Amino acid sequence: MTATRMESNPNEGPATSGPTPTFESCYAEVAPALYAWAELRIRPQLRARLDPQDLVQEVWLRGIKNYARFDARETSFRAWIFKIGKNVMLEALRALRTENAAQPGWSPTTKMMALDGVPQSVTSFTQRLAREDSVREFLTQAGELEEQDRMILIHCGLEDETCAEVGTKLGLTEDATIKRWQRLRGKLRERPWANSLLADRG
């Protein structure tokens, strides 16, 4: 498995007491999972306008601007950055729907995000993520799952949501979701990329 790293620069840390890691170090740890999530969530027919690499870089922009507000006593960095990712995704999809409604049948190729202010080091890092062996193997494995298991993998394994939350979304009981996720997670944990991509929640 190839190790992907991003250059780190000092930044003001989150609102916690004691020494805190830089945004870059926290982001680098969760970025492979974030990129894999974007790949799974953006449908192929939308890729001309909404590219996974662009989305992940927009998340980086918003994350570094707001890192001083992050409080590790209230939530994990992973949950915090994925919340930003979901907001970016919803905004982009909403904008696409608005444009399509205004101009039916129009298929523009102009990208959704200008990404002003993203340094070249972050662009290069994101490009490396797209080629990362662990990410490609994860996506291949996810593509072989049935739809419901794939959604459980996305929600529980990447977004780190509880089984109760996921069960509500998928129309399953909490117990049924727990059993399916435990079975799926047990199989996935055997993969060499599991520790770097899957959330810690059991």
User: Nearest-5° angle of CA 9, CA 75, CA 63?
Assistant: 35
Q: Is the pLDDT of residue 2 over 50?
A: no
Contact 152, 180 (CB under 8 A): yes
Residue 144 burial (10 A CB sphere; 0-12, 13-18, 19+): exposed
pTM metric for this prediction:
0.82
What's the rounded mean pLDDT across residues 138-155?
A: 94
Q: In this structure, which topology does domain 133-202 adopt according to CATH?
A: Arc Repressor Mutant, subunit A (1.10.10)
In the chain, domain spans: 20-131, 133-202
The rounded distance, in Å, linking the Cα atoms of 131 and 95 is 29
- Convert the pLDDT of each residue in 27-59 to its tens digit: 999 999 999 999 999 988 888 888 999 999 999
Over residues 77-81, mean pLDDT = 95
- C-alpha to C-alpha distance for 84 and 75, rounded to whole angstroms: 13
